[in-house]
Amino acid sequence: MPLSIGIVGLPNVGKSTLFNVLTKNKAETANYPFCTIDPNVGVVKVPDFRLDKLAEVSKPAKIIPTTIEFVDIAGLVAGAHQGEGLGNKFLAHIRECDAICEVIRDFQDENVIHVSGKVNPEEDRETINTELILADLASIEKRLDKMKREAKSGNQEIIHNSVILDKIYQHLNTGKAVRELDFDDEEDIYVKTLNLLTIKPIIYLLNTGEDDNNDHLPTTTDLIIRINAKLEEEISNLPENEQKEFLKELGLEESGLNKLIRSAYEILGLETFFTSGADETRAWTIKKGTKAPQAAGRIHTDFITGFIRAEVINWEKFVDCGGEIKAKELGLIRTEGKDYVFQDGDVANFLINK
């Protein structure tokens, strides 16, 4: 199942336009709040030029990219944590996502209303982030009250966890997201069970106008990407060969959407390894730090217990020498055991005990 990115923001900031371009699924778009009531979900391929390079060498019957899921969540408004604008329902959808893409409007259009009556990217960012912080604060406060009562029993685990909750509560009370807090390994195990909104990785996507050259970047250390969703929509409607030419005319190496997809993949701490042969050339998603048996398990769960060893080569070496046969002749393919940590760009064969 692909990891998911929730697309959030105020109404009429361009979320559904962005989603339509990403997935080519035409979610309803309209010039009024809450036209998207149930989240639209689309699975999109992660662009990776390495896959094409490997396929040129292996000449497979199929090329299969890795994927990521985008969820178009209806517009949030001030008061969402208290249920305003169906806020509770929408916040629940965000909780189910692995990361957040917050779309912020930075375009002027008299025909598209803004819920607050004016375009102000920094204020919009603050509105959404405040709602997420307040929702987490309410959740933590409820848990903390209950846990403090239970801690009177002297249970050490409960006492330990109540200290963690209090640490989070105090931090949220300063108006800061939980992802800005540091936790040790032991604390992190418990924190993950809380399913907090503001601990999720976040990308800010500034949706600009065609002639907008203003630098209205919000004040944040998080990742910010600027794109023009309407222009991206025009690009996506062109034939693939014309898209590249159009991007070249605009002085761009790649579309903003490709950059967004890759950035989303990266902030989730993901890497890619490949398998490449006559049947298929395929990209596989793993978490950074994944060891060889667990990487094999991405292909089939039985491969974890049956793992014997992996034959591994970097994708560039695989391409440069013209494929697996030549790579073996040149001694470029390494044999790795259970403790090998897979690296981004590895090409692998797994030897499995069946």
pLDDT at 292 over 50: yes
Q: What is the pLDDT of residue 287?
A: 92
CATH architecture of 289-352: Roll (3.10)
105 compared with 350, residue with greater pLDDT: 350
SS (H, E, C) the chain: CCCEEEEECCCCCCHHHHHHHHHCCCCCCCCCCCCCCCCEEEEEECCCHHHHHHHHHHCCCEEECCEEEEEECCCCCCCHHHCHHHHHHHHHHHHCCCEEEEEEEECCCCCCCCCCCCCCHHHHHHHHHHHHHHHHHHHHHHHHHHHHHHHHHCCHHHHHHHHHHHHHHHHHCCCCCHHHCCCCHHHHHHHHCCCCCCCCCEEEEEEECCCCCCCCCCCCCCEEEEECHHHHHHHHCCCHHHHHHHHHHCCCCCCHHHHHHHHHHHHCCEEEEEEECCCEEEEEEEECCCEHHHHHCCCCCHHHHHEEEEEEEEHHHHHHCCCHHHHHHCCCCEEECCCCECCCCEEEEEEECC
pLDDT value at 27 more than 80: no
Q: How confident is the model at residue 124 (pLDDT cuts 50, 70, 90)?
A: confident
Q: What is the pLDDT of residue 217?
A: 59
pLDDT at 160 over 80: yes
Confidence of residue 196 (pLDDT cuts 50, 70, 90): very high
pLDDT in the model for residue 23: 77
Would you state the pLDDT for residue 214? 54
pLDDT of residue 316: 97
pLDDT of residue 342: 98
pLDDT at res. 22: 80
Lowest-pLDDT range, 18-27, 34-43, 132-141, 236-245? 34-43
